[in-house]
Amino acid sequence: MPSRSSDKAPKFSGKTADLVHYLEEIHHLCKKAGCTDEYEWPKWAIWYLDNDTANLWMQLMEETTGRWDEFVEVLANMYPGTGEREKRYIKADLVDLI
């Protein structure tokens, strides 16, 4: 895994639109590094964040079992527009406009 200060370190802008990409990158890097324990992946996702976001995500992680899929679901609920339900409604709304 790259260090936090590395130019190869994953970055999260804090924007909802970037969340899925950031989490996919963390997932990919963990697998590439041989980290197969999905309970470690949320810790790596938090490792690269700014302090304020890291503190928030740590609180969210404490409310879960620490499994990756559960952690991602909690984050998706916190960032409106990232969940499948929200995407489906947005697409349906666009179709209604046409």
For residue range 33-87, list pLDDT tens digits in order: 999 999 999 999 999 999 999 999 999 998 888 899 999 989 988 887 775 544 4
Q: Spell out the domain ranges in the chain.
A: 16-97
pLDDT band at 95 (very low <50, low <70, confident <90, very high): low
- Three-state secondary-structure class, residue 35: coil
Per-residue pLDDT, 48: 97
Per-residue pLDDT, 89: 44
**Residue whose entry in the numeric block shows the structure tokens 């950031």:** 22
Angle of the 51-62 helix axis to the 68-78 helix axis, nearest 10? 120
| CA–CA dist 93, 26 (Å, integer) | 32
| CA–CA dist 83, 90 (Å, integer) | 11
- Three-state secondary-structure class, residue 76: helix
